Amino acid sequence: MTNIQKPENQLAENHSGEQTVAPSWRWYRVLPICIGSGFALAGSIPPWGWWPLAFAGVFGLDRLLAGQSWKRRFRRTWLVAFAWLAPAVFWVWDLAGPGFVIAAGFYALYFAVAAALTPNDASRRLVLPGAFAVAEIARWSWPFGGVPLAHLALSQVNTPLVLTARLAGPLLVVIVVVVVGQALSSLYERQFMAAGIGLTVVGVLVAGGYAHPRSDVVSEIDVALVQGGGAQRTRASSDQEPTVLARHIEASNEITDPVDLILWPENVVNPGRYLDQENAYQLVSQVAADHDAPVLAGWFMKASDDHNVNYQSVITPDGNEVDRYDKVRLVPFGEYIPMRDFIVSIAGDDVPLPARDSLVGTAEPVLDTEIGPVGVSISWEGFFEHRARHAVREGAQILTNPTNGSSFWLTQVQTQQVASNQLRAIENDRWVLQAAPTGFTAVISPDGDVVARTGTEERKTLQAKVQMREGRTLASRVGWWPAVIYGLIALVASRLRSAIG
């Protein structure tokens, strides 16, 4: 009997009832497409920021999924996501090589599962954008509080698509990116109606973000953001405590014009071995008195034998500390050790681990100042959209992100942090001030424009006129819920359709 092979585009039914394309691509053809699609997604994200590559990456992924079994969709998407996340979070290699590989591989699983649950036929155009949103919120939440870095919303902070963040935050931007990439895939298939519908939806969402009512201007203030300078990739040590503080005092002396607020970075005031808390307090108070403006200063110190504290305080020209915010969202393995006893026992002496866990704050992320309520997200917290949203809900009229990226290798974290704060500005229609000891320090408008930014390692003080605002966007009210609900409904509906069919 003569064997007759099915054409490459002929559909066959697998055991789950899905319609799948008969096996066609060999692994040596699929692998370069997976890696290329992943690299395209990585290249769209800061520090590279070649934003059109995001659509190219999704286009490649969609072509890899079309007509394939769930196992192939899982494998191929895992490869794409690993090739995306590995270069985009490569800075982790400097901290822990095995941890870098594990993290990139683990978080790629979220997207692999999302693709495996997505249908392989034309209905995937409705499901995959929502599935990506669900995968992202999972990655941003678990384990250890999640890692909201290197996501696709960061790729669009300088394009009109970012305006959709006013409607439902960064997850809606992620959805829009996937829809555009799939529209290109539809054009490739000559499915012009599907492409037109997808692009029309994107156009409506962008127009909605553009037309969204703006917040009201309460007042204009002059601010100074202080960057003391120093070398990047510097690990914290007690010998640096007086040097870092001295640099920021010297940089503050360069403030020439009258200002209403001075912002210092995270944990640049470190009472400890060389400087007690009282003397440090006097030095900061003197800066406030010299410029007749409150100083929002970042403190880090030992609270007990087992704990540290990391907080931002408001010190007025008359020397009073009128408010304080202790960091709530801590960096796992940086500010605290999950399962400390177990991790310490297996880490070995060569792995740098903090000797004490930082205490978790409980106060609202708003500081009361004489110029009005100031929202604060300390360092890592700036990547989590709900922290800024929480501050605006509590009345914050401006947002600040004091941070410390001096220990990081490369500039991936710093550039992604600026991009994240561009999203925070647009989502909440607020000015955002980011201050770092060695860069980047930035002033960001409510439109997401980076009005001013320093380089790395330089000592510089940025002075700018900004606005205090009130009012809330739709995104600051509803958060990511609309995007996640859409994703969950799409996934459940597709599974029910598959089971019934």
The CA dihedral of 274, 278, 283, 284, to the nearest 10 degrees, is: 120
3-state secondary structure 90-125: HHHHHCCHHHHHHHHHHHHHHHHHHHHHCCCCCCHH
For 51, the 3-state DSSP assignment is coil
Determine contact, residues 142/106, Cβ cutoff 8 Å.
no
Closest-CA residue to 270 (of 262, 279, 261): 279
Token pair of 443 as six digits: 């002033």
Domains and CATH numbers, the chain: 15-212+480-500 (no CATH), 216-472 (3.60.110.10)
Q: Is it true that the peptide bond before 440 is cis, omega within 30 degrees of 0?
A: yes
Dist CA 254 CA 329 (whole Å): 33
The tens digit of pLDDT for each residue in 341-368 reads 887 777 766 667 788 999 999 999 999 9
Reported as type and span, the H/E element at residue 57 is helix 52-65
Q: How many CA atoms lie within 13 A of 147 on its CB side?
A: 17
The CA dihedral of 442, 460, 94, 350, to the nearest 10 degrees, is: -130
Dist CA 236 CA 239 (whole Å): 8
The per-residue pLDDT for 298 is: 97
Token pair of 209 as six digits: 């973000």
The per-residue pLDDT for 433 is: 98
Strands 321-326 and 366-369: unpaired
The per-residue pLDDT for 468 is: 98
The per-residue pLDDT for 348 is: 66
Burial-class residue 451 by CB neighbours within 10 Å (0-12, 13-18, 19+): middle
Dist CA 106 CA 385 (whole Å): 22
The per-residue pLDDT for 234 is: 82
Q: What is the pLDDT along the chain (501 residues), one digit of tens a residue?
A: 344 333 334 444 454 556 665 455 687 889 999 999 999 999 999 999 999 999 999 999 999 999 999 999 999 999 999 999 999 999 988 877 888 899 999 999 999 999 999 999 999 999 999 999 999 999 999 999 999 999 999 999 999 999 999 999 999 999 999 999 999 999 999 999 999 999 999 999 999 999 999 999 999 999 999 999 999 888 776 667 889 999 999 999 999 999 999 999 999 999 988 889 999 999 999 999 999 999 999 999 999 999 999 999 999 999 999 999 999 999 998 899 888 888 777 776 666 778 899 999 999 999 999 999 999 999 999 999 999 999 999 999 999 999 998 888 889 999 999 999 999 999 999 999 999 999 999 999 999 999 999 999 999 999 999 999 999 999 999 999 999 999 999 999 999 988 886
Dist CA 395 CA 389 (whole Å): 10
* Paired residues of 219 in beta bridges: 468
Q: Which residue has the tokens 């997505």?
A: 118
3-state secondary structure 133-158: HHHHHHHCCCCCCCCCCCCHHHHHCC
Say which DSSP state 22 is in. Answer: P
